Chain A
Amino acid sequence: MSGLSEKLAARLAGVPAYVPGSALPGALSRKLSSNEAALGPSPQIVAALQAAAGAVNRYPEEAELHDRLAHRVGVAPEQLLLTNGSDELCSLVSALFLGPEDKSVLGDPSYAIDVKVSLFAGSQLVRVPLISGAHDLPGMAAAAVDAAVVWLPTPHNPTGVSIRPAELREFLATVPSSCLVVVDEAYAGYADAEYVIDVAGLISEFPNVLIQRTFSKDWAIAGVRLGYGIGSSEVIDALRRARAPFSVSGLAVAAGMAALDSTAWHRMTVDRAREGRELLQAELDRLGIDYLPSQANFVFARISHPQIASRLISAGISVRPGENLGMPGWVRITIGWAPIMAELRSLLRAEFSTSAVGTKGNQGEL
């Protein structure tokens, strides 16, 4: 067995372990650590999953969802690939585009999955530190000159900072056409209109762009794993050949179809998350706490997790410590259900508001 251990140790060298967002005992609505959708899936999705449960003896049929989604995105069916969550797309990209001779360019910090698949491919990591929570696009463009893949999440996780479409185009124009740029839009559903990318236009202008999306966030079905990639038909065809034939489950297909029918639910829940984000950012402003302007369903704030840990524990609320995300001294707060967010704002006031001390008997304070 020792020979096996040595082999494994060599393969796993430098591969980061994933530390999932944790929940304290009690209601899951108090879990503000995994950027999950606060109001749950739409009633249509729940009904569709119940109806689909009886057919799980069948292999999944994804063609109808595939075509509907492509139509909705505004691309041809051959420019889109469904995946088992967006994580699978990362693995497919590394299998096709990365090897020991290749460079993989990432922001620092970045998604752990992007680091992991790059390391397993044996590729050389080039980490370009963020500037004020945003990608250093000139720095990444310089690193991309002889790279095979650039990983570019927008909005970024954990900072929530987004790239403007014009900046993205400018960046892509400087990247060699042989380098694949993976634009991860997991949180783009929460962004302001000025950040919305014309996907169809982008992939026709830049065939080396791959847009990565998920149904886990604004569509609220993280638990069934459904993602997709959008790119040139050449890139998508290669990814499809690399993908396992039934990697998207029948339940995911059913939930995805119902999600596309849940536009009113989607609009309501996204609006609610955006309102919650504004309220939290306004509170942080009032308390003089530094944060990065978020376009996602979370806010990254310069708060020491140990400083608020005991208050969080007594409230049963969990947030994500920056220590787990490569930015110690910060916390990432998911925009949760309105009452839990109010409790969180109360908690932050109690810790950070100077006028919170000794208000007893004062009128209209705090």
Chain B
Amino acid sequence: MSSSRALILTESLELSIGVREVADPGVGEALVRIEWAGICGSDLHVLRTGDWVRVWPATPGHEFVGVVEQCPGAEFTIGTRVVVDSRVPCGACDGCARAANQCESIGWVGEVFPGGLQERALIPTDLLVEVPASLEPELAVLAEPLAVALHAVNKVPDLGAEVLILGYGPIGMLVHAEIALRRPEIRVTVVDPSPPRRGIAAAFGAVAVANYVDGDIAKADVVFDAAGYPNALRDSIEWVRNGGAIVIVALGHAAESILPAHVAEKGLRIHGANGFADELPVALTKLAASPERFRALITDAYPLADAPEVLRAMLHEPAAGKVVFRP
């Protein structure tokens, strides 16, 4: 057993810093000393609702980078820097037989078992991916959300000339980064009500507007919904050109009514992008190749001790970009 200073979420949704006892790893497991852990919108959902958690008290966090401290099966050398594949598929269903992210009862690190917002975590070695030596850990922490963004962009083979991104949280930012690296000539328009987020979008060359009526949004070849606000799909259908594509990567929870005829008449392709498939190692390679494209996307960083206070504030007011904690 070792002890790990951790963010603790109780079943009554109270947040504090405490200590977890971490079991010694067996074969097929590693003890990882965590260097950085990022916060995702789904973590905030867990903090609000307690949804999806299978072990109480919980320690959230499924975006993290760390160093292997113990690995009895020698699947990884001690000292190897790794990121974690956040998906925990059941391994038994028909979906799993096709792809991990098609599991019928998929769970996530930080919900199925304690996650990255602590000093040390016990992780199955088949969820670990080695980080390239040239990549700073502070950037490697972006690998998991970047894999999600890559998966979304990969849904559309031809991005066209005009892309519209709804929502410029970390996923919207990373979708933009990938499009700019892949096809710098594409005109990207971003819709987000937050001035600091629009500031980041503009700094990276996008046209950034607060809402549709304010801006001169041309009909887009592809619309990425990374916002999930009520009626985001209806807006996407309206703002995409005929024959264009819509990729829904946000988890919008408000029911909305659309006219199926519009989808048919416009000849649209609508894709759902859930998590990622095999993009995690690709994400690490991209971060290592273009670190300066990603550095500014981490807007807030704190020692883990500050996490309860910072996260409580984030429940009311989201940060501009990616928020990371150092255990």
Q: Given A338-B301, A342-B303, A39 and B326 touching (CB < 8 A)? A: no
CB atoms of B199 and A271 under 8 A apart: yes
Complexed CA–CA distance, A40 and B139 (Å): 15
User: Given A338-B298, A339-B298, A40 and B292 touching (CB < 8 A)?
Assistant: yes
Task: Point out the residues of chain B lying under 8 angstroms from A265, CB to CB.
Answer: 203-204
- For window 338-363 of A, CB contacts with B under 8 Å fall at 338-343, 345-346, 349, 360-361, 363
Distance between A329 CB and nearest chain B CB, rounded to angstroms? 26
Interchain CB contact under 8 A, A338 and B299: yes
A42 at the interface (CB under 8 A from B): yes
A361 and B326 contacting across the interface, CB-CB below 8 Å:
no
Q: How far is the CA of A289 from the CA of B18 in the complex (A)?
A: 27
Looking at the assembled complex, report how far the CB atom of A86 sits from the nearest CB atom of chain B, in whole angstroms: 25
B129 contacts partner chain A, Cβ-Cβ < 8 Å: no
Partner of A29, one of B3, B138, B299, B300: B138
- When distances are taken between beta carbons in the complex, the residues of chain A under 8 Å from B180 are 43
Q: How many residues belonging to A are interface residues under a CB distance threshold of 8 Å?
A: 33
CB distance from B291 to the nearest CB of A (A): 9
Chain A residue at minimal CB-CB distance from B303: A346
Known interface pairs A39-B295, A43-B204, A346-B303; A339-B3 also in contact (CB < 8 Å): no
Cβ contact within 8 Å between B17 and A268: no
Residues of A within 8 A of B300 (CB): 338
- Is the Cβ of A366 less than 8 Å from the Cβ of B296? no
Q: Is the C-beta of B242 less than 8 angstroms from some C-beta in chain A?
A: no
With an 8 A cutoff between CB atoms, is A365 at the interface?
Answer: yes
**Complex interface: chain A residues within 8 A of B267 (CB):** none
Give the docked Cα–Cα distance between A268 and B203 (Å).
Answer: 7
B324 touches A339 (CB 8 A): yes
Q: Which residues of the partner chain A approach B8 to less than 8 Å between Cβ atoms?
A: 363
What are the residues of chain B within 8 A of A29 when measuring CB–CB?
136, 138, 295
Main DSSP-derived SS at the A contact region? helix
CA distance A27 to B300 in the complex (A): 19
* Interface-centre pick from B138, B199, B202, B298 (highest chain A CB count, 10 A): B138
Given A339-B36, A339-B326, A366-B17, the answer on whether A264 and B203 have CB atoms closer than 8 Å is yes
Q: Which residues of B contact A365 (CB under 8 A)?
A: 17, 305
CB of A267 closer than 8 Å to a CB of B: yes
Whole-angstrom distance between the Cβ of A323 and the nearest chain B Cβ? 28
Q: How far is the CB of B63 from chain A (nearest CB, A)?
A: 13
Q: Is the CB of B80 closer than 8 A to any CB of chain A? A: no
List A contacts of B17 (CB < 8 A): 363-366
Please determine whether A337 and B200 come into contact, CB atoms closer than 8 angstroms.
no
In the bound complex, CA of A338 to CA of B38 (Å): 13
> Residue A272 at the B interface, CB < 8 A?
yes
CB within 8 A of A366: which of B138, B301, B305?
B305
* Cβ contacts under 8 Å, B138 to chain A: 29, 337, 339-340
Chain A residues within an 8 Å CB radius of B5: 360
Interface string of B162-201 (1 = CB under 8 A from A): 0000000000000000001000000000000000100110
Q: Is the Cβ of B16 less than 8 Å from the Cβ of A264?
A: no
User: Which residue of chain A has its CB nearest to the CB of B324?
Assistant: A339
Contact A39 B296 (CB under 8 A): yes
Contact A364 B299 (CB under 8 A): no
- CB B33 to nearest CB in A, in angstroms, measures 14
**Extra 5 A-B pairs, beta carbons < 8 Å, given A264-B199, A363-B17:** A268-B200, A338-B300, A360-B5, A364-B17, A364-B308
Taking Cβ atoms with an 8 Å cutoff, the residues of A that contact B are 27, 29, 38-40, 42-44, 46, 262, 264-265, 267-269, 271-272, 337-343, 345-346, 349, 360-361, 363-366
B residues sitting closer than 8 Å to A (CB atoms) are 3, 5, 8, 16-19, 36, 136, 138, 180, 196, 199-200, 202-205, 292-293, 295-296, 298-303, 305, 308, 324-326
- Report 9 cross-chain contacts, Cβ distance below 8 Å, ordered by A residue: A39-B292, A43-B204, A268-B199, A338-B299, A339-B298, A342-B324, A363-B18, A364-B16, A366-B305
